[in-house]
Amino acid sequence: EDQVTQSPEALRLQEGESSSLNCSYTVSGLRGLFWYRQDPGKGPEFLFTLYSAGEEKEKERLKATLTKKESFLHITAPKPEDSATYLCAVPPPSSGYALNFGKGTSLLVTP
């Protein structure tokens, strides 16, 4: 059973066109939800950790929010350099260190 589901699978935006990516999770007793960015041919790069519903974190044009069932990654006025795959992950109930990743959302921002 998938613990993390991300949508959409792919998203194409015009530069400056704001949007949101979704990460739904089913694990109980959430011990953190993590967002990573992955560029082609590279390893994932850590963006944010969220621990409790209502929490928000921001970094440049990105803002991550968390509810009891899902997280959103809001991208405001994106630029072409924001193009990447965005991954969401949660620890499984049995472990505090291993991460279960979603399949990711592939974002393309065109000029």
Partner 1 sequence: GAGVSQSPRYKVAKRGQDVALRCDPISGHVSLFWYQQALGQGPEFLTYFQNEAQLDKSGLPSDRFFAERPEGSVSTLKIQRTQQEDSAVYLCASSSGTGETGELFFGEGSRLTVL
Total residue length of the chain: 111
CB of 15 vs partner 1, minimal distance in Å: 26
Decide: is 107 part of the binding site for partner 1 (CB under 8 A).
Answer: no
Could you tell me the CA-to-CA distances from 15 to 9, 20, 63, 82 in Å, in that order?
19, 14, 17, 10
Of 57 and 76, the one with the shorter C-beta distance to partner 1 is 57
Binding residue for partner 1, selected from 44, 73, 78, 107, defined by CB under 8 A:
44
CB of 111 vs partner 1, minimal distance in Å: 26
Give just the sign of the alpha carbon dihedral 6, 68, 109, 61: negative
